[in-house]
Structure 1
Amino acid sequence: MTTDTATPTTLRPPPGPRLPMPVQTVLFGMLRHHWLPRLRRRYGEVFRMHIYPEGHVVSLSNMDDIRAVFTGSSTVFHAGEGNMALGPVMGEHSVLLTDEQVHLRARKLLMPAFHGAALRGYRELVGELAEAEVRRWPTGRPVGTHHSMRTLTLEVILRVVFGVHAGARLDELRTRLARLLEIGPLDMLGWYNPGLRRIGPWRRFAENQRRVDELLYAEIAERRLAADLDSRADVLSRLLTVPAEGERLSEAELRDQLVTLLLAGHETTATALAWAFHELARDPSRQATAAEAAADPGAEGDRYLEAVAKESMRLHPVLTEVARKLTTEVRLGGYRIPAGYTVLPSIALVHADPDRHDQPHLFRPERFLGEGTPTSSWLPFGGGVRRCLGAGFSLMEAVVVLRAVLTRYRLAPDRQRPEHPRPRHITLVPSRGARVLVTSR
């Protein structure tokens, strides 16, 4: 596998389906977890699709090609441009949507809040909130763990970002942020078509988003005036006090980073935890091992619980791919990929590859213990310089929440047939909310 960005090549572009763009867009949006494996079987590890609004996109599932993208020049592989589908919600200044020096500036500002001592300091907070949430679970009847985990992880990220939990403004923000994520692939059409935002559900989404922005701008304005700003440890206060290359962040820049953290900082972890409960409920033996690990507050207990979380993310990837927009022509997998195309390293296809993961359809946390741990082919947080800032936070949170649940409850499926994934905006979630029966230990 080679990449070549300096000279033109006579190689042909990758093959792919010839269906009309609207049909491919619907298939990708609604059925990508079924459609992409079929395309891989037909066309191989590199294939092309035509999808609105991105245009031409190329799926990659060979690890050599994916490594070439992750380690390639950030001036060639633009992750921010590749994520532009999120722009109408996240905002143009979001760390997810910027590239090169602008991205590095935003990442440098946000990184201290999710590493080292700050990360360790959040553990007790997560534990307290997890205990309070799971204590409310009713025993003897089905619990929708996905809804519960979304409630919990949203509360966690609100505390981390704002440092407070009370007040009418935050109460309203909780409700409206949850509503902001209650969208499907068709709802996303309103993001790119201003005319639709005046109609029905798209109008209601736009009104809700405007109100979220109003609440965030009011919180920013109030926090700027706080007398104890320098002594606060929450993310908003850090962003207001840390100089950004000698410049103060504008209100718009602050808004975009806050929305990114609030939305991206809880949804994926909640879904991964829900899938973990779904799998543990159907595997009594591994649930017993996980419960023993939960009863051990030491490093060994954490290690197994982290393996449970990692295997949940492998078997049920919440995000099925990451995106990079090409600023110049490259060669990948023996094909020519023109400038302007978007390449999609496929998390889902790699995670399901039997050459990378033995018996990939089985839930086996043990694959993340001992020798042979599939670190290079485990991609839920992306890779390279654009690897998710919150990866460590997400795994810490998952371990703490798993411990809170498994030390209190036994889990069982509410019905024999497993749940299947369904699309929810850019993620895949359990079709019935990862419902489990819980009984007290």
Structure 2
Amino acid sequence: MLIRTADSGSAPLPAPPGPRLPGPVQTAIFTWWRQAWAERLREKYGDVVALKVFPWGRVVLINDADHIAAMFASPAERFHSGEGNRILAPVFGKHGLLTCDGEEHRRLRKLMMPMFGKAAVRGYQDTVRELTERDVETWPVGRPFKSLERMRKLSLDIIWRVIFGPGRDVRSGELRGLLERLPMTDLAVLMGLNSTRARRVGPWRRASNLLARIDTLIYETIEERRSAPDLGQRTDILSRLISAGDGTEGLSPVQVRDQAVTLLFAGREPTATALAWALHELARHPAVAQHAARAALAGDSTYLEAVVKESMRRRTGIFESIWTLAEDIELGDFRVRKGVTLMPMIGVVHRDPAHYRQPEVFRPERFLHEDIPPHAFIPFGGGARRCIGAHLSVMQSAEVLRVVLSRRSVTTDRPKPEAAVCKSVTISPAGGARIILRPLPRTEQ
């Protein structure tokens, strides 16, 4: 057994190995260069590596797909992912799917799963297509631009419509403007919001004031929507959250607020980053781009989804997930103590040659013709904490690519790949995924 509750009667196992650098140095390296460092640590120390990283303290990186699969299959009481994600609580709240644990998490997930199943996601496809077609017409043609910026705007358009439904008013306009100003891509601001002292000064004070106004507007929207005569007929997520119940009671305004905010941010930045990386890769792999364009024109979503998955594998945006141990465990050959934060290193697994032939090569066909173990492709995590919006993210990404590639060809004036940088919770292209769009040749049109 790869993971089990520690046996107090047996001979004690050693703690996992790791570097002896001071904690602040480890924190800095992990924060800004985690991808390269994680791979070097695995080469030196193996699949289980101990670190000291602020704000979690004792951290253990898990680099092996089998160990991670065992984690995902473990009882929920053993690992508390919500506690590990509490760094996000000042923005997401304490009752969102990412930040709660135990019975509250189980109940929320059960209530919300039908809203994000495959059938429900198919119902959003027309919305994704409509918004993308409108937005793509505003993109530059024949000159370079940063696709990440465009994808952030488009992803917010889409997730906003999915959550709040169609229609705009003064309140929603102000709310959207505030959400765009909130520095969610600044890791230092996010971490500082957990400090009462930091929230009194500088960027943390500005972010705190933005959050206060955002909360006011969201609670006003919830109250207004709750009294809407057509609430029961609406299909947007906010209305369904307000109407949700499991036979005992519905969700409180705080719970509705926390789910809405969590979905807004978790549904925007990771998908925008994945799409930007996909365009980055297509621009630098002309043969793949041509195949994808033919698939887009033919309405072949299967190949486009393979492009999305290969981009998520090779350019993993969420490089790790975060779980806090609720009991002492034996992890392989090591003992890990209660309270330690475990981080399954998703990005390391995605580049493991044990599961991927030529992992450094961008080849979407591997997701069509190769037998990839499910636990070796985990961009959305796994187990009871698997991202509830996984189907929506893949569908949205494939549909956006279909619209773009059926209208434009994707190239670049800088064929050298952009570096991957960690400026927020996602690892994004350093140059903003710079691309050039050109009109499709007449033969392809």
Q: Secondary structure at the match of 1:359?
A: coil
Match of 1:266 in 2: 268
Cα offsets for 1:401-436 (capped at 9, x unmatched): 000010111111131321111112211111111110
Counterpart AA for 1:421:
A
Q: Name the stretch that deviates more: 6-15 or 303-312.
A: 6-15
RMSD: 1.4
Counterparts of residues 186-265 of structure 1 (less than 5 Å): 186-265=188-267
CA–CA distance in 2 between the matches of 1:271 and 1:212?
A: 24
Indicate how the Cα distance of structure 1 residues 385 and 33 shifts in structure 2: closer, same or farther if over 3 A, else same: same
Asked if 1 retains the 8 angstrom alpha-carbon contact of 2:175 and 2:217, the reply is: yes
Residue 44 (str. 1) matches residue 43 (str. 2): no
Match of 1:89 in 2: 91
CA–CA distance in 1 between the matches of 2:70 and 2:34?
A: 24
Match of 2:437 in 1: 438
Match of 2:443 in 1: none
Q: Secondary structure at the match of 1:343?
A: strand
CA–CA distance in 1 between the matches of 2:417 and 2:2?
A: 41
Counterpart AA for 2:221:
E
Counterpart AA for 1:29:
T
Gaps of 5+ in 2: 441-445
Residue 4 (str. 1) matches residue 4 (str. 2): yes
Asked if 1 retains the 8 angstrom alpha-carbon contact of 2:355 and 2:372, the reply is: no
Q: Please report how far the alpha carbon of residue 20 of structure 1 lies from its aligned counterpart in structure 2 after TM superposition.
A: 1.9
Cα offsets for 1:278-331 (capped at 9, x unmatched): 01001111111000100112xxx1110000000000011111111211111111
Asked if 2 retains the 8 angstrom alpha-carbon contact of 1:278 and 1:436, the reply is: yes
The equivalent position to 1:75 in structure 2, one of 68, 74, 77, is 77
Cα offsets for 1:102-133 (capped at 9, x unmatched): 10111122112111432111000100001111
Match of 1:337 in 2: 336
Counterpart AA for 1:310:
K
Counterparts of residues 111-260 of structure 1 (less than 5 Å): 111-260=113-262
Match of 1:16 in 2: 18
Asked if 1 retains the 8 angstrom alpha-carbon contact of 2:244 and 2:251, the reply is: no
CA–CA distance in 1 between the matches of 2:280 and 2:265?
A: 23
Residue 35 (str. 1) matches residue 31 (str. 2): no
Q: Name the stretch that deviates more: 387-396 or 80-89.
A: 80-89
Q: Secondary structure at the match of 1:417?
A: coil
Q: Please report how far the alpha carbon of residue 185 of structure 1 lies from its aligned counterpart in structure 2 after TM superposition.
A: 2.5
4+ residue runs over 6 A deviation = none
Indicate how the Cα distance of structure 1 residues 196 and 313 shifts in structure 2: closer, same or farther if over 3 A, else same: same
Match of 2:324 in 1: 325
Match of 1:313 in 2: 312
CA–CA distance in 1 between the matches of 2:185 and 2:386?
A: 25
Q: Please report how far the alpha carbon of residue 358 of structure 1 lies from its aligned counterpart in structure 2 after TM superposition.
A: 1.3
Indicate how the Cα distance of structure 1 residues 374 and 365 shifts in structure 2: closer, same or farther if over 3 A, else same: farther
Gaps of 5+ in 1: none
Counterpart AA for 1:416:
P
The equivalent position to 1:282 in structure 2, one of 261, 281, 284, is 284
Q: Name the stretch that deviates more: 403-412 or 163-172.
A: 163-172
Match of 2:396 in 1: 397
Counterpart AA for 1:7:
D
CA–CA distance in 1 between the matches of 2:255 and 2:263?
A: 13
Q: Please report how far the alpha carbon of residue 256 of structure 1 lies from its aligned counterpart in structure 2 after TM superposition.
A: 0.6
Q: Please report how far the alpha carbon of residue 245 of structure 1 lies from its aligned counterpart in structure 2 after TM superposition.
A: 4.4
Asked if 2 retains the 8 angstrom alpha-carbon contact of 1:184 and 1:423, the reply is: no
Counterpart AA for 1:218:
E
Counterpart AA for 2:59:
V
Indicate how the Cα distance of structure 1 residues 182 and 72 shifts in structure 2: closer, same or farther if over 3 A, else same: closer
Residue 108 (str. 1) matches residue 77 (str. 2): no
Asked if 1 retains the 8 angstrom alpha-carbon contact of 2:97 and 2:109, the reply is: yes
Q: Secondary structure at the match of 2:398?
A: helix
Q: Please report how far the alpha carbon of residue 2 of structure 1 lies from its aligned counterpart in structure 2 after TM superposition.
A: 2.7
Task: Give the TM-score normalised by structure 2.
Answer: 0.96
Asked if 2 retains the 8 angstrom alpha-carbon contact of 1:30 and 1:185, the reply is: no
Q: Please report how far the alpha carbon of residue 149 of structure 1 lies from its aligned counterpart in structure 2 after TM superposition.
A: 1.0
Counterpart AA for 1:75:
E
Asked if 2 retains the 8 angstrom alpha-carbon contact of 1:357 and 1:374, the reply is: no
Residue 376 (str. 1) matches residue 375 (str. 2): yes
The equivalent position to 1:62 in structure 2, one of 61, 64, 71, is 64
Q: Please report how far the alpha carbon of residue 33 of structure 1 lies from its aligned counterpart in structure 2 after TM superposition.
A: 1.4
Q: Secondary structure at the match of 1:192?
A: coil
Asked if 2 retains the 8 angstrom alpha-carbon contact of 1:319 and 1:427, the reply is: yes
Match of 1:387 in 2: 386
Counterpart AA for 1:313:
M
Q: Please report how far the alpha carbon of residue 394 of structure 1 lies from its aligned counterpart in structure 2 after TM superposition.
A: 0.7
Indicate how the Cα distance of structure 1 residues 348 and 19 shifts in structure 2: closer, same or farther if over 3 A, else same: same
Residue 406 (str. 1) matches residue 405 (str. 2): yes
Q: Please report how far the alpha carbon of residue 167 of structure 1 lies from its aligned counterpart in structure 2 after TM superposition.
A: 1.3
Task: Give the TM-score normalised by structure 1.
Answer: 0.96
CA–CA distance in 2 between the matches of 1:183 and 1:129?
A: 23
Report % sequence identity. Answer: 46
Cα offsets for 1:176-235 (capped at 9, x unmatched): 222224442322331221111111111111111111111111111111111111111111
Counterparts of residues 409-424 of structure 1 (less than 5 Å): 409-424=408-423
Match of 1:426 in 2: 425
Q: Please report how far the alpha carbon of residue 29 of structure 1 lies from its aligned counterpart in structure 2 after TM superposition.
A: 1.2
Q: Secondary structure at the match of 2:365?
A: helix
Counterpart AA for 1:46:
V
Q: Please report how far the alpha carbon of residue 81 of structure 1 lies from its aligned counterpart in structure 2 after TM superposition.
A: 1.3
CA–CA distance in 1 between the matches of 2:43 and 2:313?
A: 20
Q: Please report how far the alpha carbon of residue 74 of structure 1 lies from its aligned counterpart in structure 2 after TM superposition.
A: 0.4
Match of 1:362 in 2: 361
Counterpart AA for 2:146:
G
Q: Name the stretch that deviates more: 34-43 or 339-348.
A: 34-43
Q: Name the stretch that deviates more: 334-343 or 191-200.
A: 191-200
Asked if 1 retains the 8 angstrom alpha-carbon contact of 2:159 and 2:264, the reply is: yes
CA–CA distance in 1 between the matches of 2:387 and 2:96?
A: 13
Asked if 2 retains the 8 angstrom alpha-carbon contact of 1:80 and 1:99, the reply is: yes
